[in-house]
Amino acid sequence: MAVVTTADWAIIISMASLAVSIAGFVWNIWSKFIYPKPKVRVGMSNKIAIGDGWEPAPRCISLSAVNHGPGEITIHSAIARPRWKWYRRKGRTYAMLNPLTNWPYNETTDGPFSGGLPKTLRVGETFDAHFIRSRRWFDRGDLIRFGFTDSFGRNHWAPMKHSKSVRAEIESDETLERFNSEA
């Protein structure tokens, strides 16, 4: 029976370290030069239009995307995800959002591909999708995550703190409370 010495352990550990280093090097080359994926940063906020002739000033929820490169990307649709329940056995469900067509001049939507979607973004370009500002918008399906999907099928989400602050502002807005009770 062969006895493993300290020198044998050193060779085994060195070979494992070499394998990990080569794998990391290959992954870096692959992800940076062969198949680079653009990074999209998404943000969510409340917006208000300020100008002549608007009384009261139109308000909306805005979902914005910024392409941080290294290449072009096509934003396909705006999506939302409900709170994940651990006892669901099926895959996650997503909601397609309907952006406003020409906010603030027109507060209607033509479906999930209105409002300029799909949109190709070059590096450094931004895109804003505007949505109706309503408390029921958050309550429908208990939506908590908002973002965009790209042409590769990847999802890009706004940070949770953005959606929480938008939700808190909408829930505390008294004029919106009056509007929702009349509808």
Q: What is the pLDDT of residues 104-151, one digit of tens each?
A: 777 778 777 888 889 999 999 999 999 888 777 766 557 788 999 998
11 lies in the same domain as 75: no
82 lies in the same domain as 167: yes
Residue pointed to by tokens 């396909």: 76
73 lies in the same domain as 149: yes
12 lies in the same domain as 57: no
Contacts of 36 by beta carbon, 8 Å cutoff, 6+ apart: 70, 71
5 lies in the same domain as 62: no
pTM of the predicted model as reported, rounded to 2 decimal places: 0.72
162 lies in the same domain as 118: yes
159 lies in the same domain as 112: yes
19 lies in the same domain as 65: no
Partnered with residue 20 across adjacent β-strands are none
Strands (E), the chain: 40-48, 59-67, 73-82, 95-96, 119-121, 126-131, 143-150, 155-157
54 lies in the same domain as 140: yes
For residue 131, give its domain range: 40-182
How do residues 64-110 score in pLDDT, each as one tens digit?
999 998 889 999 999 988 877 666 556 677 888 889 888 877 777 87
